[in-house]
Amino acid sequence: MPSRAVAVIRGSSGVNGTVWFSQDKDDEDVTIKGDITGLKPGEHNVHIAELGYPNDGISSSSTWLNKLSTSPEMKDAFANIANLKAQNDGSLHFEMKGKDIHLNGRESIIGRNIVVDNEKTDENLTEAQNITRGRSATGVIAIAERIEDDE
């Protein structure tokens, strides 16, 4: 069972980065560490999309990954990582715990897309309305080898 995953982030206008996920036990929160460059300064929403499509980049990401895929509304999305702020130089560095995100089981994020939106999520809008505001970058989440120094 995977305990570590990685997504290589690519997007328009030179957006690049890597996001690592690790989970030592299935009942623990997933640790998420990311380094992304080339973003416009300001807040960006980072979330997990239902499906991963490596071929068409940011235009091919699907809808938000919702718990049991029962609701299209933002308030029910469990794979919303956070609204995070890129610095004036366009860099975004973060480390956090992801609640309700799993590397194993039926709700695993392996094989799905991580998406960095152009802007922060507006909770007054639906998922569809937020998607139309654009995406900066995405990457497919893949199983990664566990490294001893990671602990």
Q: What is the pLDDT of residues 19-66, one digit of tens each?
A: 999 998 888 889 999 999 999 999 998 888 876 655 555 544 545 454
Which structural domain range is residue 114 located in?
Answer: 4-150
Q: In this structure, what CATH number is given to the domain that contains residue 20?
A: 2.60.40.200
Cβ distance 99 to 41 under 8 Å? no
Q: Is the per-residue pLDDT at 76 higher than 60?
A: no
Q: Where are the alpha helices (DSSP H) in the chain?
A: 127-131
pLDDT band at 146 (very low <50, low <70, confident <90, very high): low
DSSP structure class, residue 108 = B
| H or E element in which residue 55 lies | none
Q: Is the per-residue pLDDT at 71 higher than 90?
A: no
Number of structural domains found in the chain: 1
DSSP letters along 64-84, please? B-BGGG---SGGGBS-EEEEE
